[in-house]
Structure formats: structure tokens, C-alpha cells
């Protein structure tokens, strides 16, 4: 793995860290330009690091094993602050497992969201190995979305889901396209796998969302008025009966 500092900047130190699955980040080696590397508790038989000049450095994992799977980071220090790179993901293919691209499906919103101002569109990528994937949508970054932080392992393969929350008026626009694209690194290059669904004009009753909300609100109001009228009428009848009973009682006396 290689790491480059800002070109021309005189940073003489470089640090290499690793983060194994489910564990915290730990420093493997500290390198300084022109001096011996400090591996701390780690073995030089397992790792190697070089810093040939002030701009760049390299890090090597020797004789890789499945337990070496994880994220590896480089960092440099300036004024006592550490600045990290985005990291490199290392995967060691397991015996009997073959590199397999994902199957991507985009699912429409649930009918239970009929009264919601937003619709949740779900993208599911499944059946891939290893878990070198990224998910993106054909909508602006300001549209709420949530993608699983890590792919879920199911037997030999992985699954990952992403949810996009679009305004209801977008979903109720006939023919509007919603596309989910999953990028998959197959060991040599990255391939894109996509699937799309399209917005609908109306729900199953033939009503647009706006009309449906107006009708339900009107119905609620009418029902409330009916309840009030019924209560008033019931009170009037009760009062009338009470008066009749009082009159009958006076006549008997």
C-alpha cells in the first residue's frame, strides 16, 4: 500500500494503522525519513514499511492470512495533530469462495406510507463476494438516505441495503425514474450494477395523494360534526322525556 503527503510539504513522519473487524484502530509502525522504523509490538517478519522521501511512504503485509482482513490507514502529523487518509480495505479471499457480482433490486414504497409526506424506496444488493461495494442513487445529496454501514454476511455471500426518502410528489409523478447503482470491485476494476423503478400517477384507488388527503380530512370533519349533532339531539330528547315525566307526575298528584 502506498501513501502520499501533500506534494512539497516537509513532513518527515508517517504512521500506519490497522483496524480489524469489530476492533479499535491500532498503530502498527511509525516511520521517519532517513531513520529506522519503529514497529512497537508488531513483528518485522509480518510487516514492512518504507519512507524514501518526505512526500511518500509504503506499507506491506507479508504472507497475508484471513485474519489480516481489515482497514489500513496512513497518517502524518503536523503541529501535534494527526491527519489520516481514507484508508485501504484489505480482503483475503477464502478457500472455495469465488468473486461474484451483486444482484440489485429496487423496491417501491410500502402501502403503509400512504399518509406520509415522503416515500421510502429501498435498494437491495445481494449474492456478492467479497464485500467491496458502494451504493449511490440518482438523486441529489440533500435527499435523505441511509445505507447499511457494512454488508451482512449470509452463508458465502453478502447483502447490503440502502433506503432513499423522496418527497411524495416525486413518487406520484408518472414515469419519474429512481435508480440505485452498486459499484463492485472485482479484484481488477470496479463494475456498476444498476436497477430502476418508476413513479406512479395514482394509488390503487385512482386518487392522487393530495385528493386522498383532502377526502380523508373532509370525512373526519363530517364525522365530527355528525357526532356533535347526535350529542345535541340526544340531550334534547333526554330533556323532553324528563319534562314529560315531570308533567305526568304533577297530574298524578
| Predicted local confidence at residue 94, as pLDDT | 87
Q: Among residues 123, 128, 124, 127, which one has the least CA distance to residue 138?
A: 123
| Predicted local confidence at residue 68, as pLDDT | 93
Q: Which residues are paired to 182 by β-bridges?
A: 135, 193
Q: CATH for 103-198?
A: 2.60.40.10
Cβ neighbours of residue 203 closer than 8 Å, sequence gap 6 or more = 114, 209, 212
Distance CA 43, CA 87 (A): 21
| Predicted local confidence at residue 54, as pLDDT | 77
CB atoms under 10 Å from CB of 84, counted, come to: 13
In this structure, the dihedral spanned by the alpha carbons of residues 99, 186, 104 and 135, taken in order and rounded to 10 degrees, is 130
What pairing do the DSSP bridges indicate for beta strands 157-167 and 190-198?
Answer: unpaired
For residue 87, CA distances in Å to 83, 181, 235 come to 12, 23, 76
| Predicted local confidence at residue 173, as pLDDT | 92
- The residue extents of the domains of the chain are 2-90, 103-198, 214-242
**Structure pTM?**
0.66
The region, left, alpha or beta by phi > 0 then psi within -120 to 50, assigned to residue 80 is left
Fold agreement (2-90, 103-198): yes
| Predicted local confidence at residue 147, as pLDDT | 96
Class of domain 2-90: mainly beta
Across the 253 residues of the chain, what is the mean pLDDT of every consecutive 10-residue run?
A: 77 87 90 78 88 86 91 83 86 90 96 84 97 93 90 93 95 94 94 96 58 60 62 64 60 53
Amino acid at each position: 500500500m502506498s501513501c502520499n503527503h501533500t506534494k512539497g510539504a516537509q513532513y518527515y513522519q508517517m504512521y500506519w494503522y490497522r483496524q480489524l473487524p469489530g476492533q479499535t484502530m491500532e498503530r502498527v509502525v511509525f516511520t521517519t525519513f532517513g531513520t529506522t522504523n519503529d514497529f512497537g509490538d508488531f513483528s518485522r517478519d509480518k510487516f514492512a514499511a518504507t519512507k524514501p522521501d518526505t512526500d511518500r511512504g509504503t506499507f506491506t503485509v507479508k504472507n497475508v492470512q484471513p485474519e489480516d482482513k481489515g482497514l489500513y490507514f496512513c497518517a502524518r502529523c503536523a503541529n501535534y495533530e494527526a491527519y489520516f487518509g481514507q484508508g485501504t480495505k484489505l480482503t483475503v479471499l477464502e478457500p472455495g469462495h469465488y468473486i461474484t457480482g451483486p444482484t440489485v433490486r429496487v423496491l417501491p414504497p410500502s402501502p403503509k406510507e400512504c399518509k406520509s409526506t415522503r416515500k421510502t424506496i429501498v435498494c437491495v444488493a445481494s449474492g456478492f463476494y467479497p464485500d467491496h461495494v458502494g451504493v449511490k442513487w440518482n438523486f441529489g445529496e440533500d435527499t435523505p438516505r441511509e445505507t447499511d454501514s457494512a454488508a451482512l454476511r449470509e452463508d458465502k455471500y453478502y447483502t447490503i441495503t440502502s433506503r432513499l426518502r423522496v418527497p411524495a410528489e416525486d413518487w406520484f409523478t408518472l414515469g419519474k425514474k429512481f435508480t440505485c447503482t452498486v459499484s463492485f470491485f472485482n479484484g481488477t476494476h470496479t463494475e456498476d450494477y444498476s436497477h430502476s423503478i418508476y413513479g406512479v400517477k395514482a394509488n390503487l384507488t385512482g386518487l392522487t395523494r393530495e385528493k386522498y388527503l383532502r377526502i380523508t380530512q373532509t370525512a373526519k370533519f363530517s364525522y365530527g360534526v355528525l357526532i356533535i349533532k347526535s350529542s345535541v339531539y340526544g340531550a334534547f330528547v333526554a330533556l323532553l322525556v324528563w319534562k314529560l315525566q315531570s308533567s305526568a307526575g304533577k297530574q298524578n298528584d
